[in-house]
């Protein structure tokens, strides 16, 4: 793959010490196409093996759609923009993959009905293939991004119009998320005091250089990151320099509002942004509850023997109960009593107090994270295993089933943790039920301080969707397996 990408890109130099990005949209699109083909073939193969166990008479010759799906699915994915090299977030990508897979499946079902004897059509093979494709395609794409997103050829080169605070925030955000594929290679700004560098990206001159650099650097995407300028100048920039690029994204001065599921509206020639408050919709609340009950029941059945064995181990190595109870804050400020598998000694509070008095570095770490990497309270063996894997949280499945919690949401923190947050933020997070897992859990976990926790919780509440919940649940599995940020 890397060799193919290298052949597709060139690396000429231009003035002002700006290096042409080796990011290749074509190479990135090819990589995504290859990932999808591999996933579809693997899904079809696994479905065939699985269903042949149920019905031994099922053979490869009966799955006539295997090659048709390999050809047809990528065509539909392409029509849905799934092979764009950048600017498609993981949640929106998941939504489009699912819709595209369902669409192809409906078409293929109709084809089977009209052109073949319906009795020769294996419904079980079809359904298992559909489910596996919907799962493996996004997983394989995530794997390819893990392998290649940090490579120089991945993504598309982007020119940033502006070199101030907004541009800095955008560049740093894109750098933290290389999988998005947007790679800023140069900035322009009319303020000469900003010429030089913006968050590691060269500021190569004034805005009037946009056509020249776009031509020399072969850049077709631009970001207008000038949220602080007056309206007249912003309109002037868009009209005069925007026509140079086939894709122009304007970053508005609306930091903090929802970023997913925002749609534009034409209000008689006036641009409007419609922001949906998804969690306020009764239908969405009902869908979230249905997912909690269905998936919570499945997870609960799987978790039951794990919780039983862990509880027995705890009783064998430490005096005291196997479970730990603590009052925490739930939806609408209601006090909920959560249950966890006990991972600490019974006198944990006294052990913590003594440790913090002795160790200044540990005291500072506790003030920032309310966690300790080397925690003297944790029971050796089973305690560390449960905390590293977050399996100590499994007993809370019961609270999900009873409606006190949700599978996904802001984590219910102890009172001492909540006191570190701003009162307005505490009021804001009370609007939704706390979650067994959440965006903070899969993005930062124990590595995120209070500021990071607040930012991620606000993002989740303002951008909630069923797709976001599914995305977080999938990432939770990966975070647990890789032991990311847990201690």
CB atoms within 10 A of CB 290: 11
Element (H, E) at 2: helix 2-8
10 Å CB burial of residue 441 (0-12, 13-18, 19+) is buried
Q: Which fold has domain 12-21+154-255?
A: Rossmann fold (3.40.50)
SS3 content of the chain, % helix, strand, coil (to 5): 60, 15, 30
Q: Where do the domains of the chain lie?
A: 12-21+154-255, 25-148, 282-343+378-481
Instruction: Give pLDDT, residue 240.
Output: 77
Of 38-42, 171-175, 258-262, the poorest mean pLDDT is in 258-262
For the ranges 56-70, 113-127, 325-339, the maximum mean pLDDT occurs at 325-339
Of 16-20, 143-147, 391-395, the poorest mean pLDDT is in 16-20
Give residue 21's pLDDT band: very low, low, confident or very high (50, 70, 90).
Answer: low
Instruction: Give pLDDT, residue 407.
Output: 93
Instruction: Give pLDDT, residue 266.
Output: 55
Under DSSP, the state recorded for 13 is B
For the ranges 186-200, 269-283, 470-484, the maximum mean pLDDT occurs at 186-200
Tracing tokens 């419904």 back to the chain, one arrives at 123
115-118 long-range Cβ contacts below 8 angstroms, 24+ apart? 116/64
Element (H, E) at 355: helix 348-358
pLDDT tens for each residue of 29-56: 999 999 998 998 888 888 888 777 766 6
- What's this model's pTM, rounded to 2 decimal places? 0.75
Instruction: Give pLDDT, residue 16.
Output: 47
Rounded to an integer, the average pLDDT of 134-139 is 90
Q: Give the residue from 19, 400, 472 showing the smallest Cα distance to 201.
A: 19
Instruction: Answer yes or no: is pLDDT of 443 > 80.
Output: no
CB atoms within 10 A of CB 248: 18
Instruction: Give pLDDT, residue 12.
Output: 40
d(CA 308, CA 382): 13
Instruction: Give pLDDT, residue 277.
Output: 66
Element (H, E) at 74: helix 65-79
Answer for the pair 166, 54: CB distance below 8 angstroms, yes or no.
Answer: no
Instruction: Give pLDDT, residue 270.
Output: 63
Q: What is the dihedral of CA 141, 464, 423, 351, to 10 degrees?
A: -50
Answer for the pair 74, 38: CB distance below 8 angstroms, yes or no.
Answer: no
pLDDT tens for each residue of 325-359: 888 888 888 889 999 999 888 887 788 888 788 87
Q: Give the residue from 177, 145, 228 showing the smallest Cα distance to 459.
A: 177
Residue 360 structure tokens = 């200044």
Q: Give the residue from 271, 276, 269 showing the smallest Cα distance to 250.
A: 271
d(CA 243, CA 480): 47
**What's the chain's average pLDDT?**
80
Instruction: Answer yes or no: is pLDDT of 294 > 90.
Output: yes
């Amino acid at each position: 793959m890397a060799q193919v990408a290298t052949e597709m890109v060139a690396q000429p130099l231009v003035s002002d010490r700006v290096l042409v990005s080796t990011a290749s949209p074509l190479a990135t699109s090819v990589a995504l196409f290859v990932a999808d083909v591999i996933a579809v073939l693997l899904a079809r193969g696994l479905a065939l093996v699985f269903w042949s166990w149920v019905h031994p008479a099922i053979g490869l010759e009966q799955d006539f759609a295997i090659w048709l799906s390999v050809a047809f699915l990528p065509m539909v994915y392409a029509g849905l923009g799934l092979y764009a090299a950048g600017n498609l977030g993981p949640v929106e990508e998941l939504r489009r993959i699912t819709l595209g897979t369902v669409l192809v499946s409906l078409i293929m079902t109709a084809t089977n009905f009209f052109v073949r004897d319906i009795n020769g059509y294996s419904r079980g093979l079809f359904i298992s293939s559909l489910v596996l494709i919907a799962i493996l395609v996004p997983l394989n794409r995530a794997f390819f991004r893990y392998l290649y997103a940090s490579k120089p050829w991945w993504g598309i080169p982007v020119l940033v119009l502006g070199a101030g605070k907004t541009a800095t925030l955008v560049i740093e955000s894109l750098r933290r998320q290389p999988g998005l594929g947007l790679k800023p290679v140069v900035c322009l700004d009319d303020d000469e005091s900003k010429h030089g560098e913006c968050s590691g990206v060269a500021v190569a001159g004034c805005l009037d250089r946009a056509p020249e650099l776009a031509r020399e650097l072969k850049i077709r995407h631009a970001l207008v990151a000038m949220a602080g300028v007056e309206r007249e100048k912003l309109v002037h920039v868009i009209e005069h320099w925007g026509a140079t690029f086939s894709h122009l994204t304007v970053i508005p001065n609306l930091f903090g509002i929802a970023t997913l599921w925002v749609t534009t509206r034409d209000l008689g020639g006036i641009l409007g942004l419609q922001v949906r408050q998804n969690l306020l919709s009764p239908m969405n609340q009902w869908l979230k509850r249905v997912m909690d009950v269905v998936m919570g029941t499945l997870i609960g059945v799987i978790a039951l023997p794990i919780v039983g064995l862990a509880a027995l181990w705890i009783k064998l190595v430490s005096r005291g109960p196997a479970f730990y109870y603590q009052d925490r804050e739930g939806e609408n400020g209601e006090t909920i009593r959560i249950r966890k598998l006990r991972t600490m000694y019974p006198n944990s509070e006294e052990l913590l107090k003594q440790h913090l008095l002795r160790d200044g570095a540990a005291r500072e770490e506790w003030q920032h994270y309310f966690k300790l990497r080397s925690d003297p309270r944790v029971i050796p063996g089973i305690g560390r295993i449960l905390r590293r894997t977050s399996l100590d949280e499994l007993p809370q499945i019961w609270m999900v089933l009873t409606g006190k919690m949700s599978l996904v949401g802001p984590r219910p923190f102890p009172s001492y943790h909540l006191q570190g947050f701003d009162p307005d933020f505490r009021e804001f997070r009370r609007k939704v039920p706390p979650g067994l897992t959440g965006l903070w859990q899969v993005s930062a976990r124990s590595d995120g301080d209070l500021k990071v926790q607040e930012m991620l919780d606000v993002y989740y509440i303002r951008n909630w969707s069923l797709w976001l919940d599914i995305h977080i649940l999938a990432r939770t599995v990966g975070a647990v397996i890789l032991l990311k940020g847990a201690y």
